[in-house]
Amino acid sequence: MGSRYYWYKEVLPCTAMVVVEFTNVIQNILFKAASSKGLSFYIFTSYCYAFASLALLPIVFFLISKNGLPPFKFPLISRLCLLALVGLAAQLCQYKGLEMGTPTLSSAISNLTPAFTFILAVFFRLEQVELRKSSSRAKIIGTIASISGASVVVLYKGSQVLSSIHWTSLSALLQQPLRSPQSYWVIGGILLAVGYLFTSFWYIIQSQIMKIYPEEMIVVFIYNLSLAILSVPVSLLAESNTSAWRLTPSIVAASVLYSGIFALSFSGIVHSWGVRLKGPVYVATFRPLSIVIAAVMSAIFLGDDLYLGSVIGALILSAGLYAVLWGKAKEEKRTANDDDDSGLSSSASLSDSKVPLL
């Protein structure tokens, strides 16, 4: 029983989060390739969330027919509406930033998510900070280091460390370079940072929704459907030319279908489940894995070069991240010990109260 509990509570969430980071990096690479062929990020967002809604519809229909509709009361409806608005803002900022930057830059800036989530969790009293304790000091220092590392990645590109000239890249197959102009680097980084700030808000809101209605599939379906409905009018205003909505060439269709049918639905369900099981800060701490994945895959498939600023920034970010993780783990261990002590005290007092009077 203890082994099953450990696998469910520790091993399975960790494995699922790592797999999600792989799917997200592949999604970013496919979108970058598709955007180089003229795909608008507005149209991409609309198509993806429409396909994601259709992909989950049979499962949700089965769950609703079995368990009934969720309790649509104001606390749940208001949070679902806010989740959709924040999610739409996050997606538009991230995909525009990715269009102007690179998948490696996007993954590097996503390392800010743990720091943003921790700050928001403290603000909304989901995390406690006591400066007298080493765990709290580690989380604060780690948060500052994470923000500093991301600033280095955005503001300092530096010399070229690794060239992808020897790789057979997707950009060669597409007969078009996928690198963004260097002048767009800072603007793309700022947009990505804003997008991942909205992502941190998304985690906080989702943690509240999971407490009210812990049904990941249905919540993610409502979220996807809401974003599809919200994004279509915005996209029609931004892209009024009907020819821009055609899913051609094949890389555009592959990007939309993969992202909509698989990546968005899978990551949304796993993140919602992880937030309910382990909390928003735990889910956010896996974001830095994407920088390593993106650097390797971008060099292979997109022909991106690796720069010194990205390496230095990633190292600072990683150090900050694991300082936060260390502080978080130490606090959880102390909380567990306190709970055990309180349980023993209550058991002892209960035993004393049951001592016969005679």
pLDDT tier, 358 (very low <50, low <70, confident <90, very high otherwise): very low
Distance CA 119, CA 135 (A): 15
End-to-end C-alpha distance for the chain, whole angstroms: 41
Q: Is the dihedral of CA 276, 277, 278, 283 positive or negative?
A: negative
Kindly report whether the peptide bond that precedes residue 249 is cis, defined as omega within 30 degrees of 0.
yes
**Mean pLDDT on 51-60:** 92
**For residue 72, which amino acid is it?**
F
Rg (alpha carbons) of the chain, rounded to whole number: 23
* pLDDT per position as a tens digit, 63-103: 888 877 777 788 888 999 999 999 999 988 988 888 888 77
Q: How far is CA 269 from each of CA 245, 266, 272, 287, 351, rounded to the nearest angstrom?
A: 28, 5, 5, 16, 45
How many residues are present in the chain? 358
Q: What is the DSSP letter of 101?
A: S
pLDDT, one tens digit per residue, over 188-222 is: 888 999 999 999 999 999 999 988 988 889 999 99
Cβ 76 vs Cβ 163: under 8 Å: no
Assess contact for 206 and 271: CB atoms under 8 A: yes
What average pLDDT does the chain have?
79
- State pLDDT tens for residues 137-190: 887 888 788 778 777 776 777 887 766 554 444 444 444 444 555 557 788 888
- State the residue for tokens 């928001």: 120
Evaluate if pTM is beyond 0.85. no
Q: Show the tokens assigned to 150.
A: 């991301």
